[in-house]
Each structure stands twice: as C-alpha cells, then as structure tokens.
Structure 1
C-alpha cells in the first residue's frame, strides 16, 4: 500500500512539474495541444470572454470574434516560443484584429509642432545635469497616479500630457492630484482633435492659456468626446508655467529629463507584439512612425539590459500592471520605436513666499 501511495505521489509530482514547465514555456496558459483542439480553444475563448465581460450582438458576431481570438492565441503562442527578453499574453484586446486595435487605441496626431515649439525655444534646462542615479522610478517617489484606461477613444495624447503634469505638480508641491483628461479632450480643440488624436505640446500650451486643468473628480473621464464645460468649476487645481521639448534623437537628454520628472514621449506602438505585451523588457520589432503617446516615469537596468519605465493608458490589465519596460541604449539615435524623437515635459516653478 505504501509503495502504491509513493508511486501515485511520484506521478502527481511529475505531472505538476510537466504542467508547470509547459505553462512557463507558453506563458499564456495554453499549449500545442490546445491549439490543435477546437474544443479546448472554444473553452479558452468562453473563459476569456467571461473574465472580460464580453457580450456579442449575435451568434455570427461571436463566431467572428472567436476566429480573431484564435488567430491572436496562435500569434501569442508562437511569439513566446522564441527566446526573447519579453513575452506576450491574453488581455482584453484578444478578440480584436490588429487593424481594429490600431484604429481605436492609438491617437497621436503628428501635426504642425512648430506652432507651439516657438514658445519653447529656451535652453534645455537639464542639459548640464552631471550626476544621474542608476535607476529612477517616479512611482516610488509618489509622483505617479494609478494607471488609467482611455478605452476606445484615441485620447492617448491627453493621458500622456496629464501624467506629466501630475508628476511635476507632485514634485513641486508634494501633492499628487489626479487630473482631467476629459477637459483636454472636450476643450483643447484648436489643434487637437479629441478622440481622433492630438499632440502633447498643444495640450501643454492649452493648459497654460487656460490657467490650469481641473481635477479628475471635478471633470471625470467619459471614454468619449463631450461638451466643453468651462464653468464646471472656476478653480483650476493645477497650473504649469511652461513646457520644453527634449532635444530630438538624443537619448542622453531624455534620460536627464526623466531623472528629474515624468516626461511625455511619443512612440510607434502599431506592432502586433505591443498589443499583447505582458511583461519583460520589450525590444520587439517596431518602426519610428510615431502613433501613440505615453509617459516615461523612470528608467533602470536588468540582466545587463537598460530600459525606460513607460506608463500606458490601456488599463492595468495590459502589460506589467499597465506599464511596459522599453529597451534603451539600442545604438540608434531615435531609440526603440522612436522614443527619443519627440519628448517634452511641463515646467512648474516653485513659488517662494
């Protein structure tokens, strides 16, 4: 009897080890057998849909979404079989084709940046910074609000702007206040286009001209364009005194800026791996046609790989709790995904009484 119990325990241990190894290999919770089994894929889809509260208008629409989901599962699985410094995983976007995803969740508008650059021609204020710490994480310094979710509104430019303003405001005043992206989407309409895209420099200029920006509690996010409510509150809780562009294609300058405050950056995020990034140091294939706005909130190194810590606006279920670590020191002036091409930050002077 004892020998039978030992044998059974041994089998269970081996099975657990094999399953754990398989789980670690796929890093997505499914295996080669799952990919070959329509039943297993169906079950995976149903469980995923329930987890993300997905409801479809018709059986035909559900079938179409399942087919997209199946293709995405295969992409994730095949990608994770490669030896890379990052991995992919299922998230709420798994029933969207990549073209659909790009159309809804990217929203940087490359326009006439020179219109606002003229107001930001002063010398890069961090140029002479000599000592930079090896690692910086503004989350640990209390200068970063929880990750937000732009939803299917291309307002990433507003989220990037607001995160940078939230950061410098906390650094200067000691108060971390969650600010309103919705106010920018509704009211900053001279050059920016709400859910159809925008640019952070325009938004910084708007906040200066507007005398500040409301708190998020006073002007909450709708995940869609609304009507500008300038009189919602006459008190603008946070203001800035200016903004500056980081010298283009200069990673050292970007590093200096991020060492002192969160910085708005633009990247190309249209690669399929970006849609399903789950963790690790991202160094995947991407170009430099900037189409998404995010915020650099720190930098560091791991296993001899240097990276920027990037706050995204796709909710905490994407990436590393809403963040992505993007490789730096790539040897290319424009940086990975063009991150060094178009960075800027707000300025807020501390009042001396």
Structure 2
C-alpha cells in the first residue's frame, strides 16, 4: 500500500523500535463475508469511526480489500508489518486527496524552484554523530492531527520553526498552523496545499508566528484573524534548502536541527542496510508507529522512494531573540 505525500520532519539518524497501539485480527476472521462484517464493526468501534448507513457498504468493500492486502503483505518476509489504522476503509486515492493535499508539484510549477537563502550553513560540518533524536533533546512538540485539510505544508513548517527555536532558546513552544492556513493566503492555499519554503518566507516577512494556544487549529480555511496574527512569539531569519539528493548534506543538517520536507514514499524500508531516518507526520497517533515512520537512508528521489532527499529545507535562527509584545498597527506607525 503506497504511503504518499507530506511526511514532515526528519528527526533522527537512529533506529526506533516498537509499534504503536494497533488493531489486530486473525486469519479466521477473513474466511466468510459474515466474519468480515464482524471484523469491520469491531474495527469501527476500536477506532471510533462513524459511517452513514448509505456509505457503509461501500466502506466495507474498501475495508475488505485493505484487510486482505495487509494480511498478504504480512505473510511475506518484509522488514516491516502493516496494521489496520483508522484509515483502513479508505482507498489510496481517497486518502491522498483528503489528507495529503500539499499539491507540491502544482505549487512548484506556479512558484518555481525553491529559493532559500542561497547558502548552506552546515557546509563545513565535519563530524556527524551516529545518532541524533530531536525528540529526546526536547525539540519536538507532541503529535498533532491536521484532520481533513491539506495543510501538511503548514504543519511541516511549524515543526521546523518549533525545533530551531527550542535549540536556540531552550524553550519548546507549540506554534500555530492555523495562522499559516488563514493568513499566508497570497502565496499558499490553506487546505488546498502549499509549500514550506513560501511559509518560511511568510514567517520571516511578518516578523514571526504566534502560538497554537493563541491561534488554535480548526482544520479549515478561515479568514485571517489579524488580532491574533499580530502577536508573534517566535521569529526566524530565513531558511535554507538541503542540496538535492545529497545524503551527506542531509545528515549534516539532521545532526544540527530537524529537517522538514514533503515526500513521496512507496514500500518503505525495502532494505535495512543503514539505520533509517525517523520521520514524523501530522495524521495523529494511529498512523504508523505512533505518528512516526522509519524511512530508508541512502536513496535518491530518482528511485521513486524519497522526496525528502530532493526537497528538504530548514529554518535559520541565528539568536535566541524573539518578538516581544504585539506588532504595531498601521495607526500606531503614523
């Protein structure tokens, strides 16, 4: 089953073991239509998934296909196992359309190549540790869920800014994805997708971004609340792009701060020749390994596996200074 678009942040160079909470089933439950219906009802109850009566039969047919797919894959000698998460009665197309709507290629055609600062601050880094896990270093906020809104670009941007801010200030502050969805509407398209580099530019230009507490996430396109937007708490100096398909450069950055990027991934962990990257997503804890996935290192986008190798970026913050108080209104500036 293809895992597509919007993996968010490369957190680690090390291997993380163990699966999150999951829904298990037995081969015997696949034998008859009746037992499959019972399995479907048990799955819906476990994940608290509600479906209308009219939609239920269509959802069941999709679920049935996915159950057999999971069962057949798990019988093979693969370095990973599949489970039935809360998306198990959705097709790949439905899932990508609903949850992975970053539309990176579309936006890239309209906006051109990533800009960045045109520099690479980690170019002269010589020593890279064998493992770095930014969760253990306190630079990663808790798991978030973007809901049915194609705002993964905003979540990706925010996690990168949260991470570099914690590294510079030693304070972990949860920032507002909804501000980007609502207010960065001249460059990006809210729930219809966007680009991280444009969002970084927006945060720099606006003088910072506010907290999630001040501007909560609603999983919908709404009118920009200027009164909330004008209370930035974390600023950045810009952003850089990791040189494309350069695994050494990617490792240098990951050793110094979390990396963000969109990704197209199929058949993760085909080989285990290297410890994988640990990647966080924004689809809640029921996806992957409690919202994380282990992604194979040492591959390029040419292999069709890792868009992070081609379009990864990270925010730059040179000091621990952050905005203090609200931005002046146009009236105050007169």
- Larger Cα-atom Rg: 1
- Equivalent residue for 1:97? 91
Question: 3-state DSSP class of the match of 2:201?
Answer: helix
CA spacing shift, 1:166–1:222, aligned 2, 3 Å: same
- Equivalent residue for 2:319? 350
- Equivalent residue for 1:226? 222
Q: Is this contact kept in 1: 2:237–2:317, CA < 8 A?
A: yes
TM-score between both structures, scaled by the size of structure 2:
0.83
- Equivalent residue for 1:283? 269
Does residue 74 of structure 1 match 2:68? yes
CA spacing shift, 1:252–1:178, aligned 2, 3 Å: same
Give distance in 2, aligned partners of 1:165 and 1:262.
9
Give distance in 1, aligned partners of 2:198 and 2:176.
16
Give distance in 2, aligned partners of 1:349 and 1:189.
27
Give distance in 2, aligned partners of 1:315 and 1:351.
30
Match of 1:64 among 58, 62, 66: 58
Cα offsets for 1:178-201 (capped at 9, x unmatched): 000000000111221111110000
Structure with higher strand content: 1
Question: 3-state DSSP class of the match of 2:143?
Answer: coil
Question: 3-state DSSP class of the match of 1:150?
Answer: coil
Q: Is this contact kept in 2: 1:204–1:346, CA < 8 A?
A: yes
Give distance in 1, aligned partners of 2:56 and 2:88.
13
Cα displacement (A) at 1:331: 6.9
**Unpaired segments ≥5 residues, structure 2:** 1-21, 322-334
Structure with higher helix content: 1
- Equivalent residue for 1:239? 235
Cα displacement (A) at 1:44: 1.3
Cα offsets for 1:231-252 (capped at 9, x unmatched): 1263211110111011111111
Give distance in 2, aligned partners of 1:89 and 1:171.
35
Give distance in 1, aligned partners of 2:28 and 2:43.
18
CA spacing shift, 1:121–1:266, aligned 2, 3 Å: same
